[in-house]
Amino acid sequence: MIPKEGITMKTTINMLSGAAKVKGQGVLSAYEEQVRLVKDLDDVYEVTENKVKLADITHYHTINFRFFLGLPFVKMKSATVGYVHFLPETVEQSLDLPKPIRKAFYWYMMKFYRSMDQLVTVNPYFIERLASYGVDPSRVTYIPNFVSSEQFHPLSPKKVDAVKEQYGIAKDKFVVFCAGQLQIRKGVMDFIKVAKRMPDVEFVWAGGFSFGQITDGYKEIKDITEHPPENVKFLGIVDRSDMNGLYNAADVMFLPSFEELFPMTILEAMCCHKPILLRDIDLYPNILFDYYCKGSNVEDFVSEIRRLQNDESYRQSAVEASKRGNTFYSREHVQSMWREYYANVLLKVKADKRAKRTLSYEKKKV
C-alpha cells in the first residue's frame, strides 16, 4: 500500500512480556522502562503491548511457552527480537529445580533464543556466553538498561527522614541497603556476615522470594529472614513506586551478588547518587567501568563500608562516580540506541530472508 502524500508510515512494534506475573524481579522493571522509552519514539515507531497481531517487529521480553507456540504465525510477517535476561548458568543459581525439569527448561530456553531473528542483551559479557551455546554473535546486540530520573532521584532530608520513620530505619546510623530477590546467588549470606561484623551499622534488604519455595536456598534464607541479627531489616517485596525513598534513605547501595546481568537496582541507586559497592565479578567492568566500589569477600566489604562511613573524601568520590554512571546511562543515549537498533533489525532480517531465498533457488538449479 502506498501511503498518502504527507503521511509517514511508522514501524509497528508489538512488545510481549509475561514478567508482570512475578512481582519483585528486575525483568519487570527493565520491561516497563524499555517500553516507556520506545513509546516516546512515536515519530517513527508505533508500540503496542501483548496484542495478538502481526507487527513489523515482535519483541519478546520473556520466554513464555505460549509465545513460543505462536512463533510460526508471527514469523509470517514480523521480524522477531528476543531479550536475553538469563542463561542456564544464571538460573542454576536462582531456582532449585529437579534435574529432569531443569534440563528440559534449559533446552527450551536456548531453543527459544535460537528461534529469534535477533537477540538483545543488556551486558556485552553475555554475547560470548551465548556464542558458547551456538548462537551467532552477529545476531546479538548489546543495549544497556535504563532508569527514568523522573521516578528515581535525590530527595530532601525532610522526605528521607519520613521514609526512615515509615520503615523503622534508624536516623542516627549509617545505613547499608540492598534490593533484590532473596536468593543464594544474590549474596544474602555474605550480606548477613558483613552485618554481624558491623553491629553499629544498619543493614536493610528490600526484596523477597519472588519464585516461592523453588528459590535456591529457600529454607536457609527464610530462617535468616525470620530471625535476623538486630541490625538487619528484611522488608520483603516493596512496590517499585516506593523504592526511590529507600534508596535515598541509604548511605550506600551494597549488592554482593555472585551472578548478575545488569541489575536495575544499580541504575536506580545511581539515579539517587548513592555510592555503589559490588562484588568484583567479571561482568561489571565492561558496563560499570569505574563507577563503583568493589570487594571480593566479607573482609573486603567490611573494609569498604567502614571507609565509606568514616572517610568523607572517599565517600564523596564514590558519590561522584555514581553520578557519572547515571549520566553515562542517560535517557537520550539509550533511547538513540533503540531508535537505531529497531531500524537495523528490519534491514538485517530482510537481507537474511533474501539470502535464504537465493540459496534455496541455487540449490534447486543444481
Is residue 59 located within the same domain as residue 193?
A: no
Is residue 319 located within the same domain as residue 346?
A: no
Asked if the model's pLDDT at residue 283 lies above 50, the reply is: yes
Is residue 310 located within the same domain as residue 336?
A: no
Is residue 164 located within the same domain as residue 309?
A: yes
Rounded Cα–Cα distance for residues 81 and 58 (Å) = 6
Residue 4 lies in a domain: no
Residue 50 lies in a domain: yes
Is residue 266 located within the same domain as residue 315?
A: yes
Residue of 19, 57, 107, 16 whose CA lies nearest to 338: 57
Is residue 32 located within the same domain as residue 134?
A: yes
Is residue 357 located within the same domain as residue 316?
A: no
Residue 359 lies in a domain: yes
Report the number of distinct structural domains present in the chain.
Answer: 2
Is residue 101 located within the same domain as residue 171?
A: no
Rounded Cα–Cα distance for residues 204 and 195 (Å) = 10
Where does 103-231 show beta strands of DSSP type E?
118-121, 140-142, 175-179, 202-206
Check the CA dihedral 87-92-96-101 and report its sign: positive
Residue 57 pairs in a beta bridge with 13, 79
Asked if the model's pLDDT at residue 248 lies above 70, the reply is: yes
Is residue 313 located within the same domain as residue 341?
A: no
* pLDDT given for residue 349 in this prediction: 86
Rounded Cα–Cα distance for residues 29 and 16 (Å) = 14
Residue 286 lies in a domain: yes
C-alpha cell at 264: 536495575
Question: If you average pLDDT over residues 170-179, what whole number do you get?
Answer: 97
Low-confidence winner among 59-68, 241-250, 326-335 (lowest mean pLDDT): 326-335
List CB contacts of 51: < 8 A, sequence separation 6 or more. Answer: 14
Rounded Cα–Cα distance for residues 184 and 190 (Å) = 9
Is residue 191 located within the same domain as residue 290?
A: yes
Q: What is the pLDDT of residues 203-212, one digit of tens each?
A: 999 998 866 6
Percent of the chain scoring above 90 in pLDDT: 70
Q: Domain residues for 302?
A: 157-328
Residue 224 lies in a domain: yes
Is residue 339 located within the same domain as residue 321?
A: no
pLDDT band at 363 (very low <50, low <70, confident <90, very high): low
Is residue 286 located within the same domain as residue 348?
A: no
Residue 151 lies in a domain: no
Q: Is 81 in contact with 118 (CB distance < 8 Å)?
A: yes
Rounded Cα–Cα distance for residues 17 and 253 (Å) = 29
